[in-house]
């Protein structure tokens, strides 16, 4: 799902007003998997991982389980990527932070190795 929120007013006592984006029919907006980013001949050997973050962690465990079960059922029907039950999970805030740190540092080029 895609979420949006206005700029925070700076008051540490005010929470962000985080809302789920909805389409013109008021249905939640979901990011689409873009299989065309991977050559078709490579789909069967390309692993697909779905790491659910804060938006899923705030849901009751029963809803998390239902969503994960839907993913595990529907993904193999619509896509032929390498995908198994262990490839979809709700990750902790700590894991999410580590992935964010890696992503930011990668984008900033901090992992580039310069040979002497």
The angle at the Cα of 29, spanning 78 to 80, to the nearest 5 degrees, equals 15
What is the 3-class SS of 23-50, one letter each residue? CCCCCECCCCCCHHHCCHHHHHHCECCE
- Looking at the chain, the number of H-run helices and the number of E-run strands are 3, 4
Q: What tokens appear for 82 in the block?
A: 């390498």
Q: Indicate which residues carry an active-site annotation.
A: 96
């Amino acid at each position: 799902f895609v979420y949006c929120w206005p700029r925070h007013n700076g008051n540490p006592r005010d929470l962000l007003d985080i809302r789920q984006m909805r389409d013109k029919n008021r249905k939640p907006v979901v990011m689409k998997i873009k299989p065309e980013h991977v050559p078709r001949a490579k789909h069967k050997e390309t692993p697909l991982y779905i790491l659910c973050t804060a938006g899923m962690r705030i849901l009751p465990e029963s809803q998390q389980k239902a969503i994960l079960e839907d993913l595990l059922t529907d993904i193999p029907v619509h896509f032929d990527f390498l995908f198994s039950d262990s490839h979809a999970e709700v990750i902790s805030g700590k894991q999410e932070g580590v992935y964010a740190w890696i992503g930011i540092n990668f984008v900033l080029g901090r992992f580039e190795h310069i040979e002497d």
